[in-house]
Amino acid sequence: MDRFIIRGGRPLHGEITIGGAKNAGLKLLVAGLLTSERLVLTNVPHIADIATMCALLTQHGLTVEAVNGDKTTLSVGGEITSTEAPYDIVSKMRASILVLGPLLARCREARVSLPGGCAIGTRPVDMHLKGLETLGAVITLENGYIHARAPEGLKGDRIVLPFASVGATENLMMAATLAKGRTEIVNAAREPEMADLASCLNAMGAKITGAGTGHIIIDGVEALHGTTHRIMSDRIECGTYACAAAITGGDLRLIGGQVEHLGAVVRAFEEAGVEVTQEGNAMRVRRTGALRGIDIMTEPYPGFPTDMQAQFMALLSVAEGASMITETIFENRFMHVPELNRMGARINVHGSSAIIRGVHSLSGAPVMATDLRASFSLILAGLAAHGETILSRVYHLDRGYEAVERKLAACGAQIERVSN
């Protein structure tokens, strides 16, 4: 099992290229289930979760292959030979639940294992199932599997989500592209990845308006066709490396980063004393003064994203004064707190809030990753700490970040990956 060894105390300077968005690429791959023609995706991130999704699509009968040997360009297509998504694949990644809607829409039946993924909360799939039932599906749960049937096909209807769930919105939007009539999704998730998915689906022949707002309208069509689509840049990867510049007192240009996609994250940086500017196709992040403590509450987009909470906690652990982070999305997403405290942070958790009292410096220590984003919070702490930090269980990190050690080392970090 691989580990990272980090020797901190070096400001980062230089450029980092931001890859394609994990949270967009996974769903765009699933869109390949909606047509028998080829869907070609460019700017595909080379990460473990993409490989898992490719394995799942292959299980369904699709062919997924690199175009001209370029792993950042994937071709997806073929006939569906199996409508079952088995436990051994789905248990590795919660995003696998997104095959349910497309399989049901195209094949009128699907059997999908209940999903797994990071242990950061329950994240129930109730909204996915209730939404599909509104579209006419008959759903039963049996032996750990979701069995969905729509013998007469799905039929458009009005769906009001009780919470702006990203996964439910994407699943229902994809299913509705092949439903009969009009579907409305009210209180839809508004993340930029939603608009990216809709853009691709529309290029495939779908009729979707309102994606990226809280009210999405989909007029069903008979069939979709192939297209070529470039995956948007990863705003969470961009925000994460912005934290690396901030916590080390450095200056980074993040190629492909878009200030407009980060929303509340940019405001949080500025309140904490970090300068963020757009320079052409790059986002520049630098800190020249002291970090200031701030209060953050995670919320659905355009609020502060839960996927940036752990990284900001590391950043605020060395800020002047006190900070408070309140987590409203996932109930178990403070598992990195004990590890940060091992490095000298002063963080106390009270229910859904964490109180952070900034310290002058952190100290290197052996620490253990607990989930994808928590992994990088510990890297950030290691980059700022005195001495050596050894991070174990980096397989969590590999699920969503590509070539971390190479990107950081190119900007002056002392970080290396070693195998046990």
Where is the binding site for UDP-N-acetyl-alpha-D-glucosamine, in residues? 94, 307, 329
Name residues whose C-beta falls within 8 Å of residue 113's C-beta, 6 or more positions apart in sequence: 85, 86, 87, 89, 90, 91, 96, 144, 145, 146
Cα 149 to Cα 158: distance, rounded to the nearest angstrom: 19
The token duo for 389 is: 């930090």
CB-based contact 249:223 (threshold 8 Å): no
Q: How far is CA 100 from CA 1, 116, 278, 285, in A?
A: 33, 15, 39, 40
Going by the annotation, the residues of the binding site for phosphoenolpyruvate are 22-23
What angle in degrees, to the nearest 10, is found between the helix axes of 22-30 and 48-59?
Answer: 10
The token duo for 239 is: 């925000």
Write the secondary structure of 364-380 as one string of H (helix), E (strand) and C (coil).
CCEEECCCHHHHHHHHH
Q: How many CB atoms lie within 10 A of CB 395?
A: 13
Give the residue from 31, 39, 102 showing the smallest Cα distance to 73.
39
Which three-class secondary structure state does DSSP give residue 326? strand
The token duo for 70 is: 């370029």
Q: How many CB atoms lie within 10 A of CB 286?
A: 19
Give the residue from 88, 181, 103, 180 showing the smallest Cα distance to 148.
103
Residue reference for tokens 């190479």: 406
CB-based contact 115:96 (threshold 8 Å): yes
List of E strands, 212-314: 215-219, 227-230, 251-255, 275-279, 282-286, 295-297
Does 238 qualify as catalytic in the annotation? no
Give the residue from 204, 203, 212 showing the smallest Cα distance to 170.
212
The catalytic position among 54, 118, 200, 238 is 118
> Which residues are the active-site residues?
118
